[in-house]
Amino acid sequence: MRHFLRDDDLSPEEQAEVLDLAAALKAAPFDSTPLAGPRSVAMIFDKPTLRTQTSFAAGIAELGGNPMLVEGRLAGIGVRESVEDVARVLGRQVAVVVWRTFFQSDLDTMAQWAGVPVVNALTDDFHPCQLIADLLTIREHAGEPAGKRVAFVGDGACNMASSWLLAGATAGMHVTVSAPDGYQPTDELLARADEIGGSTGGSGRVVVDPVEAVSGADVVVTDTWVSMGKELEERARAKALGPWSLTPELLAHAAEDALVLHCLPAHRGQEISDEVLEGPQSVVWDEAENRRHAQKAVLAWLLERAAS
Ligand code: NVA
């Protein structure tokens, strides 16, 4: 049984396979129906969502399946009943469980007990579905990701930065995270990125200076300074991360045709300026659309692997 809980659950070959599948499903959205029946996919959200819920729901329907929204607050997973018990109940009803929650360890428990594939729809630690969409977007606008340089500026300890390190290295990219002290990725993650890079040619590193990170980059990425669950730290984060804002001046250091990615929601004037988000280098709307194609590919790939 395969799951997609963190970016490095896919080997480099498997990631490429999923990206190829995503491109094929984008070209022919209704040609593949692995959920025909329809079989159901549970989508559970313990944190806010727009893109993830709608892209999964639309994608599951396109795959011939039934998107089943499970209201996180009503289910009370881990509160009303244990993750283990919920997992075993859900596994008797649905073909796949998609879960957005706080702790990666809860997702691991779900995967251990569900008996069906489990997909990470964002945790505090990782956002791997977003990275498949991001890599698909890079492929479409700039060709193969391998060898390209990515600069992630801002909250370098957030789920998106962590996913970039792992998924980027898996794709053979050089990922530089730029963040101040206290907002940097763990040594463990950086080591894991380099370990993956040993076979793909990719790498992961952290630098403080955003100009150094962005200089010559092919892709520049940022994310909110206040990830879901960190709302109480909003003022401290705005103060600490202010100099890492993705402004036209910072972007000017990147390659002339560098792409700008942001998983959204965006906070104009904070982590990214309006000019950059709406500017010619921004591909954020394609990136948002690609969530659907990417996640369909993840689901189709897992269903095929679950059956084998
Ligand atoms: N780092 C952000 C990503 C939102 C899609 C968060 O966790 O809120």
- Find tokens 């244990």 and name the residue: 82
pLDDT at 134 over 90: yes
- Find tokens 């036209």 and name the residue: 248
φ/ψ bin of 231: left (φ > 0), alpha (ψ from -120 to 50), beta (otherwise): alpha
Q: How far, in Å, CA of 40 to CA of 31, rounded?
A: 18
Does residue 159 line the site of ligand 1, with CB under 6 A? yes
Average pLDDT, the chain: 97
pLDDT at 189 over 70: yes
Q: Is 291 tagged catalytic?
A: yes
pLDDT tens-digit readout, 163-180: 999 999 999 999 999 999
* pLDDT range class, residue 305, cuts 50, 70, 90: confident
Pocket test for ligand 1, best of 223, 225, 230, 231 (most atoms within 8 A of CB): 223
Structure tokens at 110: 């779900």
Does residue 157 line the site of ligand 1, with CB under 6 A? no
The active-site residue out of 139, 174, 291, 292 is: 291
Strands (DSSP E) contained in the chain are 40-45, 66-71, 96-100, 118-120, 149-153, 174-178, 203-207, 219-222, 259-262
Respond yes or no on whether the N-terminal peptide bond of residue 117 is cis (omega within 30° of 0). Answer: no
Percent of the chain at pLDDT exceeding 90: 98
Structure tokens at 286: 């394609």
pTM above 0.85, yes or no: yes
**What pLDDT score does 101 carry?**
97
* pLDDT range class, residue 227, cuts 50, 70, 90: very high
Does residue 158 line the site of ligand 1, with CB under 6 A? yes
* pLDDT range class, residue 308, cuts 50, 70, 90: low
pLDDT at 78 over 70: yes
Q: Is 244 helix (H, G, I), strand (E, B) or coil?
A: helix
pLDDT tens-digit readout, 242-284: 999 999 999 999 999 999 999 999 999 999 999 999 999 999 9
* pLDDT range class, residue 307, cuts 50, 70, 90: low
